Amino acid sequence: MNIDITSYEFSQNPYAYYSQLRKTGQVHYLPLNNLWLVIGYQEAITCLSDIEIFSSESEYCFDPILLNCDPPAHTQNRKPLMGSNGIFTAPRIDSIAEQNKQIFDKLFQPFQTSNHFDLLADIAMPFSTLVILNLLGINQASIEELNQWSKNAILNKSIYNNEFASLEWNNIKPKVAQWISDIENKKGSLGIIEIIKHKDGTFSNNEKLLDLIKVLLIGGNETTPNLITSAMHILLQNPALYSRIKANLNLLPDFIFEVLRMEAPTQMIQRTTKKEVSIGNKVIPKGASISIAIGAANRDPAEFLNPDIFDLDRTKNRILSFGFGPHYCLGAHLAKQEAEIVLAGILSNFPVLTLSKSFSASYKHSSHIRALSSLPVYTEKTAQIVIDSKAIACQVLNQSFNKFNHFPSYENYPNIDQEKWHYTSPSPFIHANVMFALQQIQTIEFENMIAKGITFLINQKEVNDTWRFWKINECRNPVPADIDDISICSKVLENGELTLNNKSLIYNNIQANGNIYTWLIPNFSGLVKFPSFTWNYLKNKSKIKRSIDAKMLHRKDYELGVMVNALLYLGNNSQTKNTINTCIHIWQTKTDTHHFYDSDVIIAFQIARAYHGGIKEFDVLEADIVALVKEQANKDSLCEMLVAYLTGKYYNNTMLLNESKNNIINILLSKPISFEPYRFFTSKDRNYYGGSDCLTAAWFLEATQNW
């Protein structure tokens, strides 16, 4: 009874909840959502067919034309679509099958020689969009904005927030209105023109027509792509089934039927009771909200034998994936046709397709739609190159750690050694960055390495839990402790569930204007607040005099990359508010011109990492960050593309993810696999660069963990 169908956990696996609920009945009241959930097959049919008791109309009305409209108005509204020769009738859909296949062939052509693609983003979504636009006679030139709207429209934040959904629709509504106007002004007689000119005059009103187009676009953009993606996901998880369908494409209709039963794209249908009713041994009051769980009804063991098992040869009981009764989905025939076209086309073109072994299915946060977030697929060659590259990355980490007992640091002194990398004193900063990447992967494979890596960091501790690039007596350019080192080391150690007391030391370094000075140089008050740390500084002050005299550092140095790393550790709170605003200002005004990171791409990566770590105010920088990374990251450099990909991952920016992923794959396919040190940080006078092949390998594993 504590189930919340709006929760993220529910959207990832609703079937587990249904199975638990079914132990005590087919109808349940969910107090957290203030609704009645119907999970039984027969009970669902009753709710969908009895329009005298169960109304489609409600206070929240996404679609007043079809979905949220009762007969007789609903019947009238369907006539131009499903009446004599209506555009969604089976004969009309059959008549455009070849045309739709041509749309697919043209779209799919660039991917026929590809080594990988995302079935949802690259194929299923654009194909379904082009088909529905073509059917309606709408200009197909620009679909990106339309797809973004439809993606948002199916999420819980739209389903349960009328204001948000209306705002999203109103943003794209003028474009749709322009499409309609363009159609009316050109010669033609099919699609929307047929609906407008239908003899009943049902859609002569422009607002009513816009509402109709809205629901047709949602159906065309979302439910069908999700059916296609779920179907391929099932095939790729079942090699024997994959081989059987590939060998006999005539089995596709039966296969799609079982996919629709197992993974119905539409998972919930809403109704409201017009009067008190008894159903499933429960008395439901008048005016109650009903959620009919199609995904549960299709798995009702009273109706389907072994309902949680995919059975291609199953007896074809009627499924409810397209609804039932007067609201039966008018796009059902088209959806099945599209699925057949895409699946047949892909299976015919690729001898082998695979998912990454580490792929983990993630579903969009929606209680009403079953929709994978992505489905990256690989041809045989690409799948192998990714597997081989991961193995080499693991080998780099293992060999280095076994040799040094830490993740080694390398320096490059370009003015002395002609761009040659040299192993140097161990850098807790580099080591901690490698550790941070491995901690994001969270696999058993790295548990022992991470545990030993934490021990190494603990042994590097100086006074008051402070860390630096290396121990001060061993470094070539002695410097005071700095917040970059202490922050990333502390973050990694606290991720490893150690309790530290470092934040107060950094908070003490935050100035009134939000700047955090780079160097932890204690003032007079430090003798009282941090006596041991201050005493250690005074003991070593003579050793850093050379660096001060060379003007490598100044007591009031502050830098964007350093402060962002401090925020990753300190988090979002009242003490860091000014620093967060300062970092945003520095990035937007481009006033950070002399820092330890001579690549703006690295600073962008660090901002994205801090955003992902909880500094949500950095969302205002996303567009600019993504634009800069797309422009400046070297597309021929594996390291730069890994940084670009992780930046997209931390911001969950699909465009940057897809583009950088393509570049990474192309690099892996074009030259021997190697993981070189990368110029991660520099001295301020640029007399050396610091990096590690282990950092590059760790970034690769973090980036590709779900490939």
Q: What is the pLDDT of residues 15-50, one digit of tens each?
A: 999 999 999 999 999 999 999 999 999 999 999 999
Co-location of 294 and 442 in the same domain: no
Rg (CA), the chain: 30
Closest CA to 195 of 185, 187, 183, 186: 183
Which tokens in the block code for residue 586? 């520095």
CATH of the domain at 12: 1.10.630.10
Say if residue 158's pLDDT is above 50: no
Co-location of 391 and 261 in the same domain: no
So what's the pLDDT on residue 64? 79
So what's the pLDDT on residue 60? 62
CB neighbour class for 200 (10 Å; exposed up to 12, middle 13-18, buried from 19): exposed
Residue at 367 is within a domain = no
Dist. CA 606–CA 612, nearest whole Å: 10
Dist. CA 171–CA 173, nearest whole Å: 6
SS3 at position 411? strand
Residue at 70 is within a domain = yes
C-alpha distances (whole Å) from 410 to each of 542, 690, 691, 693 are 26, 6, 5, 8
Structure confidence by residue, pLDDT tens digits, 181-202: 777 767 666 778 888 777 777 7
Highest mean pLDDT among 53-67, 524-538, 581-595: 581-595
Please state the rounded mean pLDDT for residues 537-553.
Answer: 73
Dist. CA 566–CA 577, nearest whole Å: 13
463 versus 591: the higher-pLDDT residue is 591
Are 79 and 200 within 8 A, CB to CB?
Answer: yes
Of 348, 372, 396, the residue that ends a domain is: 348
Q: Which helix (H) or strand (E) is 576 found in, with range? A: none
The pairing of beta strand 410-412 with beta strand 277-279? unpaired
Instruction: Output DSSP code: residue 268.
Output: E
Please state the rounded mean pLDDT for residues 396-419.
Answer: 85
Is the torsion defined by CA of 242, 248, 253, 257 positive or negative? negative
Closest CA to 689 of 480, 545, 477: 477
Co-location of 340 and 484 in the same domain: no
Query: Residue type for 416, please?
Result: I
Domains held by the chain: number = 2
Residue at 198 is within a domain = yes
So what's the pLDDT on residue 478? 67
C-alpha distances (whole Å) from 437 to each of 329, 498, 548, 551, 668 are 47, 18, 33, 33, 20
SS3 at position 534? helix
Say if residue 117's pLDDT is above 90: no
Dist. CA 385–CA 342, nearest whole Å: 26
Co-location of 337 and 390 in the same domain: no
* Strands laid side by side in the 681-682 sheet: 421-423, 410-412, 689-691, 681-682
Co-location of 397 and 294 in the same domain: no
Dist. CA 423–CA 409, nearest whole Å: 6
Dist. CA 292–CA 266, nearest whole Å: 11
SS3 at position 307? coil
Residue at 360 is within a domain = no
Q: How many CA atoms lie within 13 A of 47 on its CB side?
A: 33
Dist. CA 587–CA 579, nearest whole Å: 12
Instruction: Output DSSP code: residue 318.
Output: P
Co-location of 344 and 388 in the same domain: no
Co-location of 427 and 557 in the same domain: yes
Structure confidence by residue, pLDDT tens digits, 348-357: 888 778 887 6
Structure confidence by residue, pLDDT tens digits, 316-361: 889 999 999 998 999 999 999 999 999 999 998 887 788 876 678 8
User: Residue 16 is part of which domain span?
Assistant: 8-348
Query: Residue type for 118, please?
Result: D
Co-location of 313 and 459 in the same domain: no
Closest CA to 233 of 359, 103, 386: 359
Query: Residue type for 349, please?
Result: N
Co-location of 390 and 312 in the same domain: no
Q: How many CA atoms lie within 13 A of 633 on its CB side?
A: 30
Q: Cβ atoms within 10 A of the Cβ of 704, count? A: 22
Structure confidence by residue, pLDDT tens digits, 457-467: 988 887 777 77
Dist. CA 574–CA 562, nearest whole Å: 19
* Distance spanning both ends of the chain, measured CA to CA: 37
Are 478 and 560 within 8 A, CB to CB?
Answer: no
Are 506 and 483 within 8 A, CB to CB?
Answer: yes
Query: By mean pLDDT, which of 5-14, 76-85, 532-541 is the weakest?
Result: 532-541
* DSSP state string for 50-80: -TTTEES--SS-S-TTTTT--TTHHHHHHHH
Co-location of 189 and 64 in the same domain: yes
**Phi (first) and psi of residue 650, to 5 degrees:** -65, -35
Q: Cβ contacts of residue 434 below 8 Å, gap of 6+?
A: 397, 407, 453, 692, 694, 695, 698
Dist. CA 352–CA 381, nearest whole Å: 9
Say if residue 147's pLDDT is above 60: no
Dist. CA 70–CA 51, nearest whole Å: 7
Highest mean pLDDT among 17-26, 62-71, 172-181, 366-375: 17-26
Which tokens in the block code for residue 477? 């350019």
pTM above 0.75?
Answer: no
Q: Cβ contacts of residue 431 below 8 Å, gap of 6+?
A: 406, 407, 409, 453, 456, 457
Closest CA to 583 of 510, 520, 653, 522: 510
User: E strands along 386-526, which residues?
Assistant: 410-412, 421-423
Query: Which residue bears the tokens 């520099």?
Result: 682
So what's the pLDDT on residue 57? 86
CATH of the domain at 582: 1.50.10
Q: Cβ contacts of residue 209 below 8 Å, gap of 6+?
A: 180, 192, 195, 196, 203
Dist. CA 455–CA 492, nearest whole Å: 11
Q: Which helix (H) or strand (E) is 27 found in, with range? A: strand 27-30
Residue at 273 is within a domain = yes
Question: Residue 55's beta-bridge partner residues?
Answer: 272
Co-location of 306 and 415 in the same domain: no
Residue at 377 is within a domain = no
Residue at 366 is within a domain = no
Query: By mean pLDDT, which of 49-63, 175-189, 412-426 is the weakest?
Result: 175-189
Buried b (16+ CB within 10 A) or exposed e, 337-374: bbbbbbbbbbbeebeebbbbeebeeebbbbbbbbbbbb
Say if residue 473's pLDDT is above 80: no
Q: Which helix (H) or strand (E) is 612 found in, with range? A: helix 600-612
Structure confidence by residue, pLDDT tens digits, 600-650: 999 999 999 999 999 999 999 999 999 999 999 999 999 999 999 999 999
Query: Which residue bears the tokens 């022992």?
Result: 448
134 versus 32: the higher-pLDDT residue is 32
Helix axes 144-153, 206-218, angle to 10 degrees: 80
Average pLDDT over all residues of the chain: 86
Dist. CA 42–CA 275, nearest whole Å: 20
Of 292, 324, 348, the residue that ends a domain is: 348
Dist. CA 411–CA 388, nearest whole Å: 28
Co-location of 342 and 391 in the same domain: no
Of 348, 372, 406, the residue that ends a domain is: 348
C-alpha distances (whole Å) from 102 to each of 192, 250, 335 are 21, 20, 16
Residue at 369 is within a domain = no
Say if residue 392's pLDDT is above 70: yes
